[in-house]
Amino acid sequence: MLDHCPGAANLRTPTLTVRKCPQCGEEVEVFSSDVAVTCSRCGFVVYNDMESCIRWCRHAKECLGAETYGKLTRGKKP
Ligand SMILES: [Zn+2]
């Protein structure tokens, strides 16, 4: 019934992405539902690009549900 943006679909069904820490090159496992993951080697905080979806998608709150939306936006200024 409802259409969801691709970004929200990824957040509803978390996928694992391996990213490289920009500081030390360590591989960091980032789930699509995570906002940020701390590098296990150097402690650098690797941010999840998926977070950007909720910044521009006006349907994000409806797509994700208030709980997930609140979790991803908690403590952030618009
Ligand atoms: Zn690192």
pLDDT of residue 38: 92
* Residue 36 domain flag: yes
- Read off the pLDDT of residues 66-75 as tens digits, 9 standing for 90 and up: 887 888 777 6
- Read off the pLDDT of residues 19-65 as tens digits, 9 standing for 90 and up: 888 899 999 998 877 878 899 999 998 877 655 566 677 787 887 78
* Residue 78 domain flag: no
**Cα separation, 27 vs 13, whole angstroms:** 22
Tally the domains of the chain: 1
Measured in angstroms, how far is the CA atom of residue 26 from the centroid of ligand 1?
5
**Cα separation, 62 vs 19, whole angstroms:** 28
The token pair at 14 is 């978390």
* Residue 1 domain flag: no
Measured in angstroms, how far is the CA atom of residue 49 from the centroid of ligand 1?
17
Residue of higher predicted confidence among 17 and 42: 42
Calculate the alpha carbon distances from 17 to 30, 32, 62, 76 in Å: 5, 7, 25, 24
* Residue 77 domain flag: no
Q: Which domain holds residue 28?
A: 6-72
Interval 3-10 mean pLDDT: 64
- pTM value > 0.75: no
Measured in angstroms, how far is the CA atom of residue 38 from the centroid of ligand 1?
8
* Residue 64 domain flag: yes
The answer to whether 16 touches 10, Cβ cutoff 8 Å, is no
- Which DSSP state fits 35? S
